[in-house]
Amino acid sequence: MQPKLPICYFDARTGILCGNCESRLAKGEITQADVDASKAVAHLSDRVVELQKATLKRAFETKGSYVLEFEASDVPSLRSNPLLLEELENALKGRAYVVGAGGSERRFLEDVFFPARVLTVNTVYLPDGEKKTKVIVPARRSERRIGDFDKLREAVKRARGIDLLVETEREVAASLYS
């Protein structure tokens, strides 16, 4: 069994795009991030059984971070393999976030922050009419797993157009009691 990808499976395995995939890339129907992620998933699917049944819908890349949108029903099985994320990050040579395609904004953010738990998601409207989404996460787990919040903000902005503000419980508590 082979994964379903934005490009042909054969193209992903060989690294050379066929005429159809090349024209889709030129038209903007797929992106270079889709091509890179498809290649990584195709090569890893030999070793990782969960990827053989998966459907990669889209991929977004920003400054070496990748948001990989899989079919929502595939995400739990992909998360069941603890080494999968590490293998994807090694193959892509950057940070990888496995998320479910479609769904609500909150569900998308919960997928991005996984395994850290999202405590709250609030929409903040600034006086100039700009909309920001504020996420509060637990301090310890989120700092270890998520790491650089700036890269995360860029990746979320690229994937869904969400302007993100991220705060930890400690930061919120410090601002309330100072």
Domain boundary among 79, 102, 125: 102
Residues 58, 123 within the same domain: no
Per residue in 43-58, pLDDT tens? 999 888 888 889 999 9
Which residue, of 47, 70, 102, is where some domain finishes?
102
Once rounded to an integer, what is the mean pLDDT over residues 15-22?
A: 90
* Out of 2-6, 69-73, 117-121, 171-175, least confident range: 171-175
To the nearest 10°, report the CA torsion of 15, 1, 8, 12: -10
pLDDT of residue 5: 93
CATH of the domain at 154: 3.30.300
pTM of the model: 0.84
Q: Are residues 10 and 96 in the same domain?
A: yes
Q: Which band of pLDDT confidence, cut at 50, 70 and 90, is reported for residue 144?
A: very low
pLDDT at 35 over 90: yes
- Say if 110 falls within a structural domain: no
Number of domains in the chain: 2
pLDDT score for 142: 47
Least Cα distance to 75 among 47, 32, 107, 104 occurs for 107
Which residue range(s) make up the domain with 167? 115-178
Asked whether residue 108 is assigned to any structural domain, the reply reads no
**Within this chain, do residues 71 and 44 fall inside the same structural domain, yes or no?**
yes
Strand ranges across the sheet with 164-168 = 120-125, 131-137, 164-168
